[in-house]
């Protein structure tokens, strides 16, 4: 499990959430439990017109009595090691997400809650933590639509930040939907840099990084000068990607035949038709990946310094 420099804690800021118009709590049983998160709390946030922040749904991972799920709820060692107020609570973070509210929408969509459960399950099973700047390659529209928003970056929630509890420090890590082009920028450069670019573009998320599943343009199309900015970042800073993991299935097949996927990719929505959202690579792409990995290993042998970013898969 990767530990990182604790974020700066702020006073408890749950009043920011309670200022929202309405509240829903979706129990794990509604998501096909058992799941690691007992509840997903969902709030109708009016946004902030002065800051170009649209009305949106705010999702926060939670446990019973509006306590937390990935952090240490009980403080008695039954789930996480005891750390006390000076340490990190459980895995040290909770998940949030902000989804743009469509006109006339009366209740929040539930698919973000299912994604949060999937990520929490990954954390509990792998004992890996999700940090600000990390990315998740989902390879499928997050809401199983035709959207270009098919991957995720992790940011610090702009309103909730980090808090100190009796069981330790908790950071609120916000899921931000991104396009394939934005994911590649995060991989080749770093997630934090891409998030900062998105913050200055209201159409890409704005200051609060609100995910808009109807967004049809990447940051490159919204602001063409971004391409040069990212390239300069790559040239000067390089990539902070420290590791990539993948699930691979090998199977025998006759030469020239087509092999159907043996398993769905991580994140494929339940009930989706066979073949939907299943990524495939050609022989040429396979060789390119192999060559790139070999080159990276040779160059990385003499390169010092720890990297911070990683890919969750």
Closest to 59 in 3D by CA, of 166, 141, 176, 140:
176
- Tally the domains of the chain: 1
User: For position 195, what pLDDT does the model report?
Assistant: 98
Mean pLDDT of the residues in the chain: 75
Per-residue pLDDT tens digits for 21-32: 455 555 554 545
Instruction: Check pLDDT > 80 for residue 160.
Output: yes
Mean per-residue pLDDT for 133-143? 95
Tokens of residue 75, six digits? 């403080």
Per-residue pLDDT tens digits for 75-130: 444 444 555 556 666 678 899 999 999 999 999 999 999 999 899 888 888 888 89
User: For position 313, what pLDDT does the model report?
Assistant: 52
Instruction: Check pLDDT > 80 for residue 203.
Output: yes
The answer to whether position 209 is within a domain reads yes
CA distance 96 to 157: 7
| pLDDT grade for 287, boundaries at 50, 70 and 90 | confident
User: For position 63, what pLDDT does the model report?
Assistant: 43
| pLDDT grade for 288, boundaries at 50, 70 and 90 | confident
Instruction: Check pLDDT > 50 for residue 33.
Output: yes
CA distance 205 to 198: 6
The answer to whether position 222 is within a domain reads yes
The answer to whether position 304 is within a domain reads no
User: For position 38, what pLDDT does the model report?
Assistant: 74
Per-residue pLDDT tens digits for 5-25: 444 433 333 333 444 445 555
The answer to whether position 22 is within a domain reads yes
User: For position 301, what pLDDT does the model report?
Assistant: 47
Q: What is the DSSP string of the chain?
A: ----PPPPPBS--HHHHHTSS-EEEEEGGGGTS--S-SEEEEEEE--BGGGTBPPEEEEEEEBGGGB-SSS-SSSSSSSS----TTSEEEEEEEEEEEEEPPTT--S--SHHHHHHHHHHHHHHHH-----TT-EE---S-TTSSS-S--EEEEEE-TTT-EEEETTEEEEEEEEEEE-HHHHHHHHHS-HHHHHHHHHT-GGGTTTTT-B-TT----HHHH-TTHHHHHHHHHHHH---B-------------TTPPPPPSSPPTTPPTTPPTTTT-----HHHHHHHHHHHHHHHHHHTT--S---B-EE-
User: For position 282, what pLDDT does the model report?
Assistant: 74
pTM of the predicted structure, to 2 decimals: 0.68
Instruction: Check pLDDT > 60 for residue 196.
Output: yes
User: For position 26, what pLDDT does the model report?
Assistant: 57
Instruction: Check pLDDT > 60 for residue 262.
Output: no
CA distance 209 to 17: 16
User: Domain range spanning residue 202?
Assistant: 14-237
The answer to whether position 101 is within a domain reads yes
Tokens of residue 153, six digits? 């970056």
Higher pLDDT, 167 or 92: 92
User: For position 265, what pLDDT does the model report?
Assistant: 44
Task: Provide Rg for the chain, Cα atoms.
Answer: 20
The answer to whether position 136 is within a domain reads yes
The answer to whether position 291 is within a domain reads no
User: How much of the chain exceeds pLDDT 90, in percent?
Assistant: 43
The answer to whether position 266 is within a domain reads no
């Amino acid at each position: 499990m990767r530990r990182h420099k604790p974020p700066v804690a702020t006073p408890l800021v749950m009043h920011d959430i309670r200022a929202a118009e309405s509240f829903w709590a979706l129990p794990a049983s509604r998501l096909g439990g058992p799941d690691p998160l007992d509840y997903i709390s969902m709030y109708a946030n009016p946004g902030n017109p002065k800051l170009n922040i649209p009305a949106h749904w705010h999702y926060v991972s939670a446990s019973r009595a509006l306590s937390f799920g990935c952090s240490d709820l009980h403080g008695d060692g039954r789930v996480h090691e005891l750390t006390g107020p000076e340490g990190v609570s459980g895995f040290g973070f909770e998940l949030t997400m902000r989804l743009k509210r469509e006109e006339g929408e009366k209740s929040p969509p539930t698919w973000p809650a299912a994604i949060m459960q999937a990520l929490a399950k990954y954390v509990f099973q792998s004992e890996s933590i999700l940090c600000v700047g990390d990315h998740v390659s989902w390879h499928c529209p997050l809401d199983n639509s035709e959207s270009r928003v098919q991957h995720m970056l992790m940011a610090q929630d702009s309103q909730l930040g980090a808090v100190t509890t009796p069981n330790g420090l908790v950071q609120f890590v916000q899921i931000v939907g991104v396009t394939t082009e934005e994911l590649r920028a995060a991989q080749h450069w770093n997630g934090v840099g891409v998030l900062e670019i998105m913050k200055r573009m209201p159409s890409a998320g704005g200051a609060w990084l609100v995910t808009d599943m109807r967004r049809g343009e990447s940051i490159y199309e919204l602001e063409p000068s971004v391409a040069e900015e990212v390239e300069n970042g790559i040239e000067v800073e390089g990539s902070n990607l420290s590791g990539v993991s993948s699930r691979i299935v090998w199977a025998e097949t006759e030469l020239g035949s087509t092999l159907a996927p043996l398993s769905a990719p991580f994140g494929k929505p339940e009930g989706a038709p066979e073949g939907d959202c299943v990524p495939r690579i050609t022989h040429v792409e396979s060789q390119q990946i192999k060559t790139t990995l070999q080159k990276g290993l040779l160059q990385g042998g003499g390169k010092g310094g720890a990297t911070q970013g990683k890919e969750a898969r």
